Amino acid sequence: MAATILDGRSLAAKLREELKQQIEEFVALNGFKPKLATVIVGEDPASIVYVNIKRKVAEELGFDAEVYHLPSDKSESEVIALVERLNRDKSVNGILVQHPMPSHINEDKVMASIDPAKDVDGLTPFSLGCLAAGTNNFVPCTPLGALRLLQHYDISLEGKEVVVIGCSRINGLPAALLFLHHKATVTICHIYTRNLSYHTRRADILYAAAGNAEFITADMVKPGVIVIDTGSNRIPNRKGDIGDVHFESVKEVASYITPVPGGIGPMTVTMLMFNTLEAAKRQVTKMAL
């Protein structure tokens, strides 16, 4: 029997309706719309598409959304200066820096310059440190979206063997930390992992975040596995995004699986919106003290 599809698109739509109501209540109470500022540097086509999607969703939900699109020759110091200006701007509640950035810019330095109170992507050293410690700042949106999707389908992490493929600070590493705090036993695999299939076949839940199109195949997973595919890859002569998992073969073995597109992507954007509203609420509360 083929796997049950973990439908992120339909859950995201439901959550966005709830979020829209919450934003209306926030505006009525506080007299202003929460604002998300996005910084993008360069002309990476996929990044431009993603930024436009985020802006469109934000505006549809009732946020103010502004995109700062800088040319690729901007210096690292100029990008950081913009971020610091947005930190000081009291009308801005959330700041998102789109990845990837041009190679001459140190992304770690740019991320570290974001005010943690406005770090709605959850990627500053402060936010990641809070996640490691199990304290409350902002959780990166892709792992958070995956967690909400699992919870929606009543899939508990407690006691599960979770194998995370990929260790980036954007996705794989925070996913491992998040799942660990939900009582899973977590293994992180990466480019230097030996005998990857040994680990993936042990997984009760497989979280693919490697950025390698369709490299997880049916022979690499055990029957009944739950597959979370966060990959978003482009292949010449194939339309749209391609996941890290070979969907057609793995769905015949798994019990649950996310599609690409329509799985984690919509949830990631939705979690960004939840984090932005939460940031605005916290900032209002702080000003009232």
The phi and psi torsions of 256 (rounded to 5 degrees) equal -140, 150
Q: Is 283 known to be catalytic?
A: no
35 has which bridge partners?
Answer: 64
- Per the residue annotation, which of 98, 119, 204, 244 is the catalytic one? 98
Catalytic residue list contains 121: yes
Task: Please give the backbone phi and psi of residue 35, each rounded to the nearest 5 degrees, phi first.
Answer: -125, 130
**Of 54, 118, 160, 251, which is the active-site residue?**
54
203 within 8 A of 219, measured Cβ to Cβ:
no
The one catalytic residue in 33, 35, 115, 121 is 121
Element (H, E) at 237: none
- DSSP string for 88-126: H-TT--EEEE-S---TTS-HHHHHHTS-GGG-TT--SHH
183 tagged catalytic? no
Phi and psi torsions of 206, nearest 5°: -110, 120
Residue burial 245-272, b: 16+ Cβ < 10 Å; e: rest: bbbebbbebbbbbbbbebbbbbbbbbbb
DSSP 220: G
Active site residues: 54, 98, 121
